[in-house]
Amino acid sequence: MKTALSALEKPSAAPAPEKSDARNLVDAVFRARELSIGGALVLLILGTWLTNHSFLDSQGVKDLLLNSSILVLLAVGQSVVVATRNIDLSVGSVVGLTAFTCGDFVSGTSHGPLTVMLLGIAIGALCGLVSGALVSIGKVPALVVTLGMLYVVQGIDYALADGGQINAVNLPDPVLSLGSGSILGIPYLPLISVAVLAATAYFLRTYRSGRELYAIGSSPEAARLAGIPIRRRVLVAYVFSGAIAGLAGALWLARFGTVVANAASGWELTVVSAVVVGGVAITGGVGSVWGAALGALLLTTISGALIVLKVDPFWEQAITGALLILAITADRLVQVRTTNALRKRSRR
């Protein structure tokens, strides 16, 4: 009897090592992708520094951190949406709207940075809620919804601005200090970005609801059969992305002080490029926010390096486009090879 029970137990225990091996293989592949991006970033920084030593002086490093912090934030929010096999093209417009609205709200007052950030997050979350509801509940394609939201939010921003702008001289000093202040020589903005990045990465890796976002992106049908609340998860992903874009808009206001209606215009594709270059597959289901942050830092460093080397700014867009095509191609090749490797292991 014991022998029969043991025989019955063995088949159910056997798949565990295979699942573990498959998971380890996928993790190893994308960890290698992140390491390669990090290596390219280091080589770019060293190469630019050897050409112009001022690139890594104290001011140069500070500028690099400040310039990349907002893009890193947006890449984190976008990664959560892309992981579900969706996209949010409205983030640049949301940044512009929140930056101008927050600036208009606190101009000539004594409000502090906390008020600005909370207001920005609220406005951004509302925009994300509208997009998420249309995508998850209305079943409208994400590309169509967020492209439409891009123009809607942009139109609202232009209507509110009415040809005017927010001037730094009218903003409270504590708000401006958020964009220029530092702790132990490290600016506030990068510290905020790293904190949001670490918290998001921990949530996605540790909590079941975070892992379910990847399950939805990997196979929506399988996720539905597994009982995952797809509509709710996608809606939350868009609200989160909008809230992060709203926070980025508040930080944009603190960083630059002077804000016009078209602030962050065109950043949508830059954010998507950073996410995809960072290893988050555009087809969803794989990648990490750490990789997306590295992609954002790489694109920002390329921009700064071209300025230092006095290269035509046109090449920034050309290089970004080339990296995007290369990343998508690499994702496809990795996906095919990983699938083949997993099939061979399952046969064994």
pLDDT in tens, 317-337: 777 777 777 777 766 666 666
Tell me the per-residue pLDDT of 143-164, one tens digit each, with 9 for 90 and over: 999 999 999 999 999 999 888 8
The two structure tokens encoding residue 39: 């290596």
pLDDT at 30 over 70: no
* Nearest Cα residue to 85 out of 325, 323, 281: 281
pLDDT at 98 over 90: yes
Amino acid (1-letter code) at residue 154: Q
Query: What single-letter DSSP state applies at residue 168?
Result: G
pLDDT of residue 76: 96
Q: Candidates 1.20.120, 1.10.238, 1.10.150, 1.10.3470; correct CATH number of 33-339?
A: 1.10.3470
pTM: 0.84
Placement of tokens 């001011």 in the chain: 59
Q: Within 13 Å and on the Cβ side, how many CA atoms surround 219?
A: 7
Q: How many whole angstroms separate alpha carbon 285 and alpha carbon 35?
A: 19
The Cα-based distances of 71 to 141, 245, 247, 268, 270 in angstroms read 25, 10, 12, 10, 8
DSSP element (H, E) containing 182: strand 182-183
Q: Within 13 Å and on the Cβ side, how many CA atoms surround 239?
A: 11
Q: Check: CB of residue 249 under 8 Å from CB of residue 120.
A: yes
pLDDT of residue 55: 78
Tell me the per-residue pLDDT of 7-26, one tens digit each, with 9 for 90 and over: 433 443 444 444 455 455 55
* Nearest Cα residue to 117 out of 266, 273, 21, 249: 249
Query: What ranges do the domains of the chain cover?
Result: 33-339
Polymer length in residues for the chain: 348
The two structure tokens encoding residue 262: 């078209």
Amino acid (1-letter code) at residue 290: W
- Is residue 306 packed enough to be buried (19+ CB in 10 Å), middle (13-18) or exposed (0-12)? middle
Placement of tokens 């380890």 in the chain: 24
264 vs 249, higher pLDDT: 249
Quick one: angle between helices 230-256 and 208-218, nearest 10?
110
